[in-house]
Amino acid sequence: MKKVVTIQDISCFGKCSLTVALPILSAMGIETAIIPTAILSTHTGGFTGYTFRDLTEDIKPIADHWKSIPLSFQAIYTGYLGSSKQLAIMEQFFDDFGDKACLFVDPVMGDKGKLYAGFAPDFPLQMARLCAKADIIVPNLTEACAMLNVPYIDEGYTKEYIEDILDKLRALGAKNVVLTGVSFQPDALGIALLQEDCDQVYYYFNEKIPISLHGTGDLFASCVLGGLMNDLSLQKSLQIAVDFTVTSIRHTITDPDYRYSTKFEECIPALLDMLAKHSNQ
Query: What is the contact surface with ligand PXL in residues (CB under 6 A)?
Result: 9, 11, 16-17, 40, 43-45, 80, 108, 116, 214-215, 217-218
Cα–Cα distance, 275 to 165 (Å, whole number): 30
Q: Which residue number, 65 or 112, has a Cβ lying nearer to ligand PXL?
A: 112
Q: Which residue number, 230 or 252, has a Cβ lying nearer to ligand PXL?
A: 252
Q: Which residue number, 191 or 232, has a Cβ lying nearer to ligand PXL?
A: 191
Beta bridge partners of 121: none
Say if CB 31 and CB 15 are below 8 A apart.
no
First and final C-alpha spacing in the chain: 21
CB of 231 to ligand PXL, least distance (A): 27
Residue 135: C-alpha distances to residues 87, 104, 131, 169 (Å)? 16, 6, 8, 12
CB of 131 to ligand PXL, least distance (A): 16
Cα–Cα distance, 32 to 30 (Å, whole number): 6
Query: What is the per-residue DSSP string for 123-149?
Result: HHHHHHHHHHT-SEE--BHHHHHHHHT
CB of 192 to ligand PXL, least distance (A): 21
Residue 46: C-alpha distances to residues 14, 139, 209, 215, 249 (Å)? 10, 21, 19, 12, 17
Q: Which residue number, 135 or 218, has a Cβ lying nearer to ligand PXL?
A: 218
CB of 111 to ligand PXL, least distance (A): 8
CB of 20 to ligand PXL, least distance (A): 8
Q: Which residue number, 176 or 222, has a Cβ lying nearer to ligand PXL?
A: 222
